[in-house]
Amino acid sequence: MASNGFSEKFVYFLAGGCIGAAVALLFAPKTGEETRELLGTRAKQSAEDIERRVASGRDKLQEKKQEVSSTIQETIEKGKETVTKQKDQINQAIESGKKAYQSQKSKLQGS
């Protein structure tokens, strides 16, 4: 969905550039050679801007990927800790139950 929004913005960007170029051609008091040079410069600037934005998007995506990976790893570690604690508590309860059983058994045998 995010890429769809980017796609729409990119299409609007290109359409705006084309409209701007057409208007510039109609109203520019420059020669054809000057106009072509200007359009070439603007096209190069636009391409460089797009490259910068794509690189920035990749960097942000990589950062988010690292954040999500770290969060997942932390969640897994916390889950493991919780399971270990629960396991220890269960083992302690079993041992306490065994001791109580042995104690009651000894009392009953001693009677």
The answer to whether 16 and 27 are in contact (CB under 8 A) is no
Q: What is the pLDDT of residues 83-111, one digit of tens each?
A: 999 999 999 999 999 999 998 988 888 76
Q: b vs e for 22-49, b when ≥16 Cβ sit within 10 Å of the residue's Cβ?
A: eeeeeeeeeeeeeeeeeeeeeeeeeeee
Task: Provide the CA 94 distance to its chain's centre, in angstroms.
Answer: 44
Which amino acid is located at 45 in the chain?
Q
Q: What is the pLDDT of residues 68-77, one digit of tens each?
A: 999 999 999 9
Q: What is the pLDDT of residues 43-67, one digit of tens each?
A: 889 889 889 989 999 999 999 999 9
Q: What is the pLDDT of residues 11-47, one digit of tens each?
A: 888 888 888 877 777 776 767 788 788 888 988 898 8
Q: Is residue 4 scored above 90 in pLDDT?
A: no
Task: Provide the CA 67 distance to its chain's centre, in angstroms.
Answer: 7
Q: Which tokens sit at 105?
A: 């058994």
